[in-house]
A and B are shown apart, each in its own frame.
Chain A
Amino acid sequence: MNLFGMMEISASALGAERIRAEVVTSNLANAESTRTSEGGPYQRREVVFAAQRPSFALSLASAGPAARDAASTGVRVREVVNDPAPALVKYEPSHPDANADGYVAYPNVNPVSEMADLMGAARAYEMNVSAITAAKQMIQQSIEILK
């Protein structure tokens, strides 16, 4: 693995954490959406991360016995899943989406836990930016040898 490979790993994490933040903000934005195109209230979504093998170019660069090393794994968003938790029901008879008994199904989104998740994504993003900065400085230092 070279230093550019290290940057590639951290960059994959930046992308994944950004998608996570996007999904969380979409949950927050739709915290009160009682109508969706699929019918029913909005359902909370969650990302599932999976470790990813390095790209072809990276494997080629470290060809030979090192190519199969287990540690050089970036991360990717494997899927975005719906949270199966039941909708929150509130008694609002005047609401247009209320059922016959006057109850409205609201999305199963808890703004507090979403905010915590958003902070987690932001912190993880920052940490990976630090890793990229470290790699950049190391490359810069290597160039210094030539001077």
Chain B
Amino acid sequence: MSTSTYQRRRATNALMLSLCSLFAFAAVGVLVLILGFVLAKGISSLNLDFFIHMPAPVGEPGGGVANSIAGSFFTVGLASLIGIPAGIGAGVFLSEYAGHRLGDVIRFTADVLTGVPSIVIGIFVYGLVVLKMGNFSALAAGIALAIIMLPIVARSSEEMLRLVPHSQREAALALGISRWRTILSVVIPVAQRGLVTGALLAVARAAGETAPLIFTALGNRFWSLSITGGPIDALPLRIWRYGIGPYDEWHQQAWAASFVLVFTVFVISLAARLLLRRR
């Protein structure tokens, strides 16, 4: 091999390696930048008032987003109550009961559902729940978010349950323990941590969704924690409303709310990862 060829190869290698490293750092850097940027922009609004006060009347300074934070917890909580049991149930079915063909059909459907734009899910729930009930509600928002969580929980639960060695199931079955008891008392406890991780990642995803809330929760400047009694606020909606509003005060609060949201999602994801690693 001639020296020039060798040198060219080395140069190409160095170039490609640095490009790949650059992109890798860019991927990590984006998150750091986002966190830093929203923090810098919103820090002046991040104080205790921001968390415990209601939005101030238009034109008045101060005020907080207590109703949005509570609303977010409320709607995501409702969504979790619906989506996590349903998702884990679907995961159990896929891992323990479904035959090859049926399992593949369900898996494919779940994967497609994961890819459905969330605004479409919002419109779907708008037609199905909001129009039928006659008003926007936390329930409608919860259902929309639950639909987003469902396939994520189902697929991750299935993976986690599949990791449980077959010998565990056989041990239980050979004791004359029925199949559903085996799943409930032997298989699920072994996979427990993984199931929680999957559920947490789905919660993190649902907490940041905005589009489906526009059609279901609508948003509300006032305090509301009613399941069916009308519009409810949520952090993503507050960010959206304040962000497109005309006042500097609003913009700053939108930044602060963004930081709270991103940080919460970050912490949930981190908790999920740590939980999975500790074994």
Check if A and B associate. Answer: no
A residues contacting B by CB (< 8 A) are none
B residues contacting A by CB (< 8 A) are none
